[in-house]
Chain A
Amino acid sequence: MEQEELSRTVQELQERLDKLESKNSRLTMVLFSGDFDKVMAAFIIANGALAMGKEVTMFVTFWGLDAIKKPEMGTAGKNALEKMVTLMRPKGPAKLPTSKMNFGGIGPRLFQYMMGKKNVEPLSSLIDMAREFGLKVIACQMSMDVMGIKKEDLIDGIETGGVAAFLSESYGSNTTLFI
């Protein structure tokens, strides 16, 4: 009887340990910003974690969606306001503004030039690399609906979800970042 209880306790402890270890190997991120500099930081961190063998989930919402739009995203099938938002927002990593010193769009070019001089990997290739490493991207369905963004307007191979999907990922990882 005592033996049975002991082995049950050991099993329980093992399960708790597995859960903790699994948490330690995961990172959850919220990409809210669509600013070039912040998106850059998000993908550098994501890549670093992936290189450390962690599982990384990025929940992309609101302006962050600009970073994962296909450049060829069109306005077909959208209402007047959705069309306006589609036309006014940048499409894809190459078009993002910087949060400081944007200078009407010259800023990002300036920073891209300076980063190129220092051999910093371009944002688009950081995004591609993270995805090759298995980055899981969840696009916020509600933000997409508000701005009339369809799943086909965003890069392929991503999931869509809501707050519960994000929270479930977050509770299962011991680090969550909001950028």
Chain B
Amino acid sequence: METKKLNFKGMTCPMPIMKTAIELKKAASGDVFEVVSDDAGFEPDVKAWCKETGNILASVTKSGSEITAVITKK
């Protein structure tokens, strides 16, 4: 399955989570997303969001100010 890339750089809380929620809502179960954000709060936020919504957080990686989360839709 193809990984969909979402670039939310330049956005601040709560927008990366809002946009992630909007995009995943449109997707089918099992779809994989790679979400990129440079909001320093994105790492704890995406972890909490996945925990609450039940979507699967495969990985969170940091490179400089960029945070990349790989999420599989529940």
Measured in the bound complex, the distance between the Cα atoms of B53 and A48 in whole Å is 12
A121 & B53 in contact (Cβ 8 Å cutoff): no
CB contact under 8 A between A53 and B53, given known A47-B18, A129-B18: yes
| B11 surroundings in chain A (CB, below 8 A) | 119, 121
CB contact under 8 A between A121 and B15, given known A52-B49, A52-B52, A53-B53: yes
B10 within 8 A of A: yes
Query: What interface size band does chain B fall in?
Result: 10 to 19
A51 within 8 A of B: yes
Query: What interface size band does chain A fall in?
Result: 10 to 19
Partner of B21, one of A51, A120, A121, A126: A51
**Chain B: CB-nearest residue to A54:** B52
| B17 surroundings in chain A (CB, below 8 A) | 48, 51
| B49 surroundings in chain A (CB, below 8 A) | 51-52
A51 & B10 in contact (Cβ 8 Å cutoff): no
CB under 8 Å from chain A, chain B span 26-50: 49
Measured in the bound complex, the distance between the Cα atoms of B21 and A118 in whole Å is 22
Measured in the bound complex, the distance between the Cα atoms of B11 and A48 in whole Å is 14
A34 to chain B, nearest CB (A): 21
24 CB < 8 A contacts A-B: A44-B14, A47-B18, A48-B14, A48-B17, A51-B14, A51-B17, A51-B18, A51-B21, A51-B49, A52-B49, A52-B52, A52-B53, A53-B21, A53-B52, A53-B53, A118-B12, A119-B10, A119-B11, A120-B12, A120-B13, A121-B14, A121-B15, A126-B14, A129-B18
A-B contact sample (4 more), CB < 8 A, given A51-B20, A53-B52, A121-B15: A44-B14, A51-B17, A52-B21, A121-B14
Chain A residues within 8 Å of B, Cβ to Cβ: 44, 47-48, 50-53, 118-121, 126, 129
